[in-house]
Amino acid sequence: MYKTRMISLSVLALLTACSGDDGTNGVDGNNGLNSLINHDTLTFGDSDCSFGGIKIISGLDTNEDDSLSDSEVTHTTYDCEANTVKVAGSRLPYTVLRSDIADGAKPGSYFEVRNGGYGSDMVKHPTNANQFYALTDRGPNATYTGDLGTGKVFPVADYTPRIGLFEIQDNGDVMVIEEILLKRPDGTFITGLPNSTALGGTGETPYSVLGDGTVEVLREDMSLPYDATSNPILLDDYGLDGEGLVALSDGTFWVSDEYGPHMVHFDIDGTEIGRINAFADDTRVTFNLPAEFANRRANRGMEGLAVTPDEKTLVGIMQSTMYNPSSAVKALDIVRIVTVDTESGTVSQYLYKQEIAQNSQSGIFALSATEFVVIERDGAFLASNANAMKHLYKIDISAATDLETIADSGEWIQDATLGLTKDGQTLEQVVLNEGWTGLTNITPVTKTLVADLVAEVQYPHDKLEGMWLINGSTIGVINDDDFSTWASGGVLEQKYLDTGQTVIDANTLYIIEDLDL
């Protein structure tokens, strides 16, 4: 206790001795800097938020101008909207073309031929980030054998192939904005009927389903019987089976097809203004493809079409191995890519090696002048085949061999009708007889897997055919639903996704994010 009292008295004495007058105030310090926060609204297709959202930036206003400049930003965050399309996808709207044909899959009932059909390709709108164009093919059809042999039956024989403009809504729904029907240079509507043999037709006989459900060969005058001379089969040299679509910034379109193959230029209203194909005698063309492209396999023509970012070079990819020189090479994995300079007509060719022989390359778009994304798929439905394949690959042609640059030398000769040959064999024949190792001086394009759609979204459709580049890491894809029309044994029926025949196939948009492009 004694020690405690002594310490307390000492502290009190010290405090009393230190009391005195206050000193002078010091100089005021500098004012602190303001912290600023900005909120920017991001729209659909933004590189950081695919479905839009808010970009939040903050930092100190170091120059004290009450505005946050780029150099003052210290923190950036994003509040992104969720993917409203989701795994199930968003179905495109459709109308019914006819519903009076008996459904071969369900006796006693009828099925809907739907329009629909917007799935042969898709492409981004050049300026509107939330819009895309989609292409139909030649119209509803199915394999059929009738009085004049094997061909195609057309339930809507006067169908006009078309381009649709679609817009994705905030809730993920898809709305149709416009339909552009394709026309001949004289302004009349084209059909989807086959071309004559001289312009790429493969002898497919067209048949029509009449109002009473009977099927007859399609002829120039349906009120009169068929006659090879006076009332022949109805063909259309302007007919297109469209599969590839390009939309240019000037409002015009290029369409590639499976008939010629043709590459056709249409104006903003859908009227033909130019054409490229492999037929030297076609007076309509501006430029020609290499002659060997006339040897396409029926129904597997130029399935994909793209344009380089400068909009000067078209890039087409064939669906499968061409019949060059014949169907003997059918079961191969060699696919041709062709590029055409639309100003000069200069052509290049490259080879693509499929993962599985007779797969389908059914879409392509450009990332740069040499890099592209392509679809490689089989024809299986996931419901009936758990190993269904629907892949996207990034390819690069920069290190690939341009077949057109190989000069005649020894065993290698450029043939006027077959293209580059080795010891008289086409490249397809070389692969058939020697394998890819026989192409000793040819390097195919490189390829890297970008996405497996079955793994990503359990992709249920058989025909993955269109792609839409939304931003640098996001792609939209769409399927060809065949106008919801199918056939088994030549009998028309509704096209279903499931083995229980409860889910009708329909054009469906899926959006895949976070891709490494």
- State the DSSP string of 268-306: TTSBEEEEEES-TT-TT-SEE--GGGGGPBTTBSEEEEE
pLDDT the model gives residue 17: 47
> Cα separation of 163 and 269, whole Å?
10
Are 405 and 494 in the same domain?
A: yes
Q: For residue range 227-275, list pLDDT tens digits in order.
A: 999 999 999 999 999 999 999 999 999 999 999 999 999 999 999 999 9
Of 23, 55, 80, the domain-final residue: 80
Are 391 and 470 in the same domain?
A: yes
Are 239 and 314 in the same domain?
A: yes
Residue 67 is assigned to a structural domain of this protein: yes
Residue 9 is assigned to a structural domain of this protein: no
Are 334 and 383 in the same domain?
A: yes
User: Which pTM was predicted?
Assistant: 0.92
The label of the residue with tokens 């739907």 reads: 114
pLDDT the model gives residue 7: 37
Q: Where residue 29 falls among pLDDT bands split at 50, 70, 90?
A: low
Instruction: Evaluate whether 382 touches 436 at the Cβ level (below 8 Å).
Output: no
Residue 14 is assigned to a structural domain of this protein: no
The least confident of 61-65, 152-156, 482-486 is 61-65
Q: Where residue 30 falls among pLDDT bands split at 50, 70, 90?
A: low
Instruction: Evaluate whether 369 touches 310 at the Cβ level (below 8 Å).
Output: yes
Q: Is the pLDDT of residue 120 over 50?
A: yes
> Cα separation of 427 and 422, whole Å?
7
Name the strand (E) or helix (H) holding 165. Answer: strand 162-168
- CA angle 266/270/273 to nearest 5° reads 30
- Tokens standing for 164? 């649709």
pLDDT the model gives residue 86: 79
Nearest to 255, CA basis, from 244, 269, 241: 244
Residue 426 is assigned to a structural domain of this protein: yes
pLDDT the model gives residue 19: 57
Are 74 and 166 in the same domain?
A: no
Are 217 and 244 in the same domain?
A: yes
Reduced to 3 states, what is the DSSP secondary structure of residue 5?
A: helix
pLDDT the model gives residue 37: 94
The least confident of 183-192, 323-332, 487-496 is 487-496
pLDDT the model gives residue 8: 40
Q: Where residue 10 falls among pLDDT bands split at 50, 70, 90?
A: very low
**Cβ neighbour number for residue 424 with a 10 Å cutoff:** 10
Mean pLDDT, range 31-58, rounded to an integer? 92
Q: In what order do the strands lie in the sheet with 508-512?
A: 90-91, 508-512, 474-479, 464-471
Instruction: Evaluate whether 370 touches 398 at the Cβ level (below 8 Å).
Output: yes
pLDDT the model gives residue 2: 37
The label of the residue with tokens 């312009």 reads: 199
Residue 23 is assigned to a structural domain of this protein: no
What mean pLDDT is reported for the chain? 94
Are 57 and 105 in the same domain?
A: no
> Cα separation of 337 and 291, whole Å?
14
Q: Is the pLDDT of residue 1 over 90?
A: no
Q: For residue range 475-488, list pLDDT tens digits in order.
A: 999 999 999 999 99
Of 80, 105, 135, the domain-final residue: 80
Using a pLDDT cut of 70, give the percent of the chain over it: 95
pLDDT the model gives residue 415: 98
User: What single-letter DSSP state applies at residue 71?
Assistant: G
Are 476 and 378 in the same domain?
A: yes
Residue 459 is assigned to a structural domain of this protein: yes
The total number of structural domains that make up the chain: 2
Are 71 and 99 in the same domain?
A: no
> Cα separation of 284 and 496, whole Å?
40
pLDDT the model gives residue 291: 98
> Cα separation of 400 and 445, whole Å?
5
Q: In angstroms, what CA-CA distances link 410 with 400, 422, 424, 428?
A: 22, 9, 11, 19
Domain region containing 160:
90-512
User: What single-letter DSSP state applies at residue 424?
Assistant: T
pLDDT the model gives residue 331: 98
Residue 192 is assigned to a structural domain of this protein: yes
Are 144 and 229 in the same domain?
A: yes
The label of the residue with tokens 């060809």 reads: 480
Residue 2 is assigned to a structural domain of this protein: no
Of 45, 80, 115, the domain-final residue: 80
> For residues 200 and 224, which has the higher predicted lDDT (pLDDT)?
224
Are 195 and 62 in the same domain?
A: no
Are 61 and 134 in the same domain?
A: no
Residue 252 corresponds to which amino acid? T
> Which CATH number characterizes residue 333's domain?
2.120.10
Nearest to 263, CA basis, from 249, 251, 274, 279: 274
